[in-house]
Amino acid sequence: MPHDRLHLPARGRVPNNPQPARLYRAALTVPPAQIGAHLAANGWTNAWQGGIYPFTHYHSSAHEVLVIARGQAHLTLGGVGGPQVTVTAGDALTLPAGTGHRNDGSSPDLLVVGAYAQGRDWDTCRPETTEPQSARTRVAQVPDPERDPISGDPWSAGT
């Protein structure tokens, strides 16, 4: 499935990841329960439904996929000063471990379905309270996903 690659170098206390974030437009336009099942079929489990935090954070222990099931949101990726994207229902983002993200505003009906590669346990790191070197060490230890959460194709780092 075609997607944009967003290369996000380390920014301040946000480690980001050498692998790019991936932005898929109009990738999954199905009900939330079907989104979760689709992701699980591709090895992305430990799913949740909700929103995106309005503060910069990242996950040092897992790769995350976010699918916009309903509504829209304006996000900053990579930490303060990073690129901004607007996502709408059906769009999806894969965020490699360490990738900073923040909700800068969203519609009241925003619903996101999130999941993690191989169902890994996740943490929530904030740049102002997480020691950056230990976070970078954890990020480097996260294995690559086996498959792309949207297409199901074998994962290829950097593509």
Residue 51 lies in a domain: yes
What is the per-residue pLDDT for 2?
80
Residue 34 lies in a domain: yes
Backbone angles phi, psi at 73, to 5 degrees: -150, 150
DSSP letters spanning 5-49: EE----BTTB---SSPEEEESS---S-HHHHHHHHHHTTEEEEEE
pLDDT in tens, 79-98: 999 999 999 999 999 999 99
pLDDT in tens, 100-112: 999 999 999 999 9
pLDDT in tens, 121-159: 999 999 999 999 999 999 999 999 999 999 999 998 655
pLDDT greater than 90 at residue 71: yes
Task: Collect all residues with Cβ–Cβ distance below 8 Å to 108 and sequence separation of at least 6.
Answer: 71
Task: State the residue range of the domain holding 108.
Answer: 4-141
The total number of structural domains that make up the chain: 1
Residue 90 lies in a domain: yes
CATH of the domain at 44: 2.60.120.10
- Compute the distance between CA of residue 74 and CA of residue 84 in angstroms, rounded to an integer: 7
**Reduced to 3 states, what is the DSSP secondary structure of residue 74?**
strand
